[in-house]
Amino acid sequence: MRMSLLRSASQHLRRRRDYSSAAASPERKVAILGAAGGIGQPLALLMKLNPLVSSLSLYDIAATPGVAADVSHINTRALVKGFVGDDQLGEALEGADLVIIPAGVPRKPGMTRDDLFKINAGIVKGLCTAIARHCPNALVNMISNPVNSTVPIAAEVFKKAGTYDEKKLFGVTTLDVVRAKTFYAGKANVPVTGVNVPVVGGHAGITILPLFSQATPASNALSHEDLVALTKRTQDGGTEVVEAKAGKGSATLSMAYAGAVFGDACLKGLNGVPDIVECSFVQSTVTELPFFASKVRLGKSGVEEVMGLGELSALEKEGLESLKGELLSSIEKGVKFAQES
């Protein structure tokens, strides 16, 4: 009975994630930096389940050997190795096709946003310096918060190292899309598995702009007030989880799922699967801002096309103008940190 349940769960995950068959898949190494953390551990599990991954490299400053041993017992394709500490970071990264970075600390009681920024910005800068040295051609998926600043930090580090390729650096905003889909489906009373909602802008507070006017399937059942409430709930999704966990945790499981979904999309793009489109925070000319989240077509070199915003509702146009100042400030803060530290 237990084996039957496990098989059923595995099959369900693969159907839900739309994994490709591994039979004709090339060898792909994925490195997760911060693999022993609250996001990193479930992300490691989900990437181990992905048949597109042939080698899974798990890195953190502590506890990674145990996580790697645990995950390695799962009977899927990926060979798992654990790495710990600065001395092993280079080996963890060597030959990686995709690097996913959930490393960093969550905001804790008494910690200001500036405190959080300084800690995580320093971590990201160090990791990106190592990426530039050991796997400069890898796609980099940035999960570490604040994404609106950590992506510009990574870009500056890569520029300084002479390895920057704007097609290969992504801020993972997929959790905003996941939440928008879930909340929209619940309010519109449609099956969530068939829902799609683009989310643009950034990855914090009011910089998160779900485009419910472009949601599919379309719904006429939602009032202006409903759309305002759905927008706010999507923007405040992280706070909702923190409060539900009584301040003892943040959105780790849903973020791991979102990270695995986006990582899977990147691998499919690398493998030449056509028409892979996801929202992501990337270098952009869609607006006057240097980085912006919108739909991105993925391919063998990373970003094949940064797609436009399409037609916006009056509510969304207002939201777009409202978010620009805060998003620009976060971008500039990241650039300044990277250049001065």
pLDDT in tens, 90-141: 999 999 999 999 999 876 666 777 788 999 999 999 999 999 999 999 999 9
Residues 6 or more apart whose Cβ sits within 8 Å of residue 199: 173, 176, 177, 180, 208, 209, 210, 211, 234, 279, 293
- Is 126 labelled a binding residue? no
Q: Given pLDDT bands bounded at 50, 70 and 90, which one contains residue 9?
A: very low
Percent of the chain at pLDDT exceeding 90: 87
- Is 144 labelled a binding residue? yes
- Is 77 labelled a binding residue? no
CATH no. of 27-171: 3.40.50.720
* Residue scoring higher pLDDT (111 or 337): 337
- Is 130 labelled a binding residue? no
* Residue scoring higher pLDDT (322 or 11): 322
pLDDT at 17 over 80: no
User: Average pLDDT in the 62-84 region?
Assistant: 98
Judged by DSSP in three states, 304 sits in strand
pLDDT of residue 163: 98
Q: Given pLDDT bands bounded at 50, 70 and 90, which one contains residue 43?
A: very high
pLDDT at 20 over 90: no
Average pLDDT of the chain, as a whole number? 93
Start-end ranges of CATH 3.90.110.10 in the chain?
Answer: 172-329
pLDDT of residue 158: 98
Q: Given pLDDT bands bounded at 50, 70 and 90, which one contains residue 296?
A: very high
Catalytic residues: 203
Is the torsion defined by CA of 23, 26, 29, 30 positive or negative? negative
Cα–Cα distance measured from residue 102 to residue 144, given in angstroms and rounded to the nearest whole number: 5
pLDDT at 67 over 60: yes
Q: Given pLDDT bands bounded at 50, 70 and 90, which one contains residue 341?
A: confident
User: Average pLDDT in the 280-290 region?
Assistant: 98
DSSP 193: G
Q: Given pLDDT bands bounded at 50, 70 and 90, which one contains residue 82?
A: very high
Contact 307, 285 (CB under 8 A): no
pTM for the complete prediction?
0.93
- Is 72 labelled a binding residue? no
- Is 34 labelled a binding residue? yes
Cα–Cα distance measured from residue 140 to residue 302, given in angstroms and rounded to the nearest whole number: 9
Start-end ranges of CATH 3.40.50.720 in the chain?
Answer: 27-171
- Is 143 labelled a binding residue? yes
- Is 39 labelled a binding residue? yes
Domain 172-329 has CATH 3.90.110.10: yes
pLDDT at 5 over 50: no
pLDDT of residue 112: 73
pLDDT of residue 284: 98
Judged by DSSP in three states, 248 sits in coil
Query: How far apart, in Å, do the first and last CA atoms of the chain sit?
Result: 57
- Is 38 labelled a binding residue? yes
Cα–Cα distance measured from residue 205 to residue 219, given in angstroms and rounded to the nearest whole number: 25
pLDDT of 155-178, one tens digit each? 999 999 999 999 999 999 999 999
Contact 326, 206 (CB under 8 A): yes
User: Average pLDDT in the 311-319 region?
Assistant: 98
pLDDT at 22 over 70: no
Percent of the chain at pLDDT exceeding 70: 91
pLDDT of residue 14: 52
- Is 255 labelled a binding residue? yes
